[in-house]
Amino acid sequence: MSKIAMVRARLEPSLKNETEKLLHQLGLTASQAITLFYRQITLRKGLPFEVALPNATTRKTFKATDARKGVVRTKDAKDLFRKLGV
């Protein structure tokens, strides 16, 4: 089947550039990635990931971390687990 259908979208240039760099590392073109996305939607009969509004706890956490409240910095994974008590 020939590929003649077109999809057009407007994106922020920085998002487009960053995404295309990652796709290049994966060995994919933007067209191939969009085709994969469309195929997954067709196979799953919906988006291939959850789309939901954050709940109250998540919104509160986002707000706190945006304000730099309750943020714990670690130097590596070992330090993180130590601080978590794991």
Enumerate the domain spans of the chain: 13-44, 52-86
Residue that the structure tokens 């077109």 belong to: 6
Residue 81 Ramachandran class (φ > 0 left, ψ -120 to 50 alpha, else beta): alpha
Q: What is the pLDDT of residue 70?
A: 86
Cβ(48)–Cβ(41) below 8 Å:
yes
Q: What is the pLDDT of residue 3?
A: 86
Q: Which residues of the chain have pLDDT under 50?
A: none
